[in-house]
Amino acid sequence: MALALDKGCYRARFAETAAEIRATQALRHRAFFGRDGIDADQYDPVCRHLMVEERGTDRLLACCRVLYLAPGQIGRSYSAQYYGLAALESFDGAMLEIGRFCSAAGRADPDILRIAWAALAAYVDVKHVKMLFGCSSFAGTDGAEYLDAFAMLRERHLAPKRWLPRVKAPKVVRFAQQRRRKPDVKQAMRRMPPLLKTYLSMGGWVSDHAVVDARMGTLHVFTGLEIAAIPPARMRLLRAAAA
């Protein structure tokens, strides 16, 4: 699928060449590890790589990769390395895994995230995707830093039991089993990753535990979003932005 979406100062499109994919891998490495290098793995060749560029300069400002999965194929996903996803194998519909979402340092314009989501919405419609999912990451590996955020996730945003991911990774933070505490909403939202906040605002849900990823230096939760659960007004806005 060819995709090119121009909005204001930005353009969203899929990488078309090996050099463009390499550019996304370089941006990922700077974003995740704070230095120059290439972040690449065995999933890159089977993914599409979405780029958000600055129009006029073609500077790469943000990127992510997506993996289309037919029903029953979730075991092929990146997330399946870390979570037991057998329950989701019975999900009746195509799925799209979104991963490695990142942006260039110093570029906090919310329009960058908006155009990325608009492009993803267009892709979802064309491919008839019924669920989005991925790993939403918290910086660092100390769960104590995110007690309020985890308490809010436990209280309001846990996955439906029929889809709940099981523990598979060797080291996890079982925040749903921690002693109950009332979350400080302001503190929770302050510590919540921006991408996760976007998922939750559209009706997304999370696993009941966070995986400790020592290589990436993060804690991440499995995050799912059923397209049918997105509020109609929000979906109209996404589709309008993609028009």
Give me the CATH number covering residue 235.
3.40.630.30
- Residues, the chain: 243
- Domain count of the fold of the chain: 1
| 68 inside domain | yes
| 148 inside domain | no
More confident residue, 109 or 168: 168
Which of 80, 94, 160, 176 minimizes the C-alpha distance to 127?
94
pTM of the model: 0.94
Beta strands 94-103 and 60-69, pairing class: antiparallel
**Confidence band for 102, pLDDT divided at 50, 70 and 90:** very high
More confident residue, 241 or 113: 113
In the chain, what percentage of residues exceed pLDDT 90? 86
| 36 inside domain | yes
| 207 inside domain | no
Q: Give one word for 203, left, alpha or beta, with left for phi > 0 and alpha for psi -120 to 50.
A: left
Is the Cα dihedral 112, 115, 119, 120 positive or negative?
A: positive
| 196 inside domain | no
| 112 inside domain | yes
d(CA 89, CA 111): 35
| 42 inside domain | yes
- 8-state DSSP, 48: E
DSSP alpha helix (H) spans, the chain: 18-33, 110-127, 147-156, 185-191, 194-201, 232-242
| 111 inside domain | yes
Residue 2, Cβ density class (10 Å: 0-12 exposed, 13-18 middle, ≥19 buried): exposed
Q: Do 54 and 115 contact (CB within 8 A), yes or no? A: no
Beta strands 205-206 and 4-7, pairing class: unpaired
- Give me the chain's average pLDDT, please: 94
Non-local CB neighbours of 111 within 8 Å, separated by 6+ positions: 7, 8, 9, 10
Q: Using one digit for the tens of pLDDT, what is the confidence trace for 126-179?
A: 999 999 999 999 999 999 999 999 999 999 999 999 999 999 999 999 999 987
Q: Do 88 and 169 contact (CB within 8 A), yes or no? A: no
Q: Which domain holds residue 108?
A: 4-138+159-170+222-242
State both tokens at 243: 């028009």
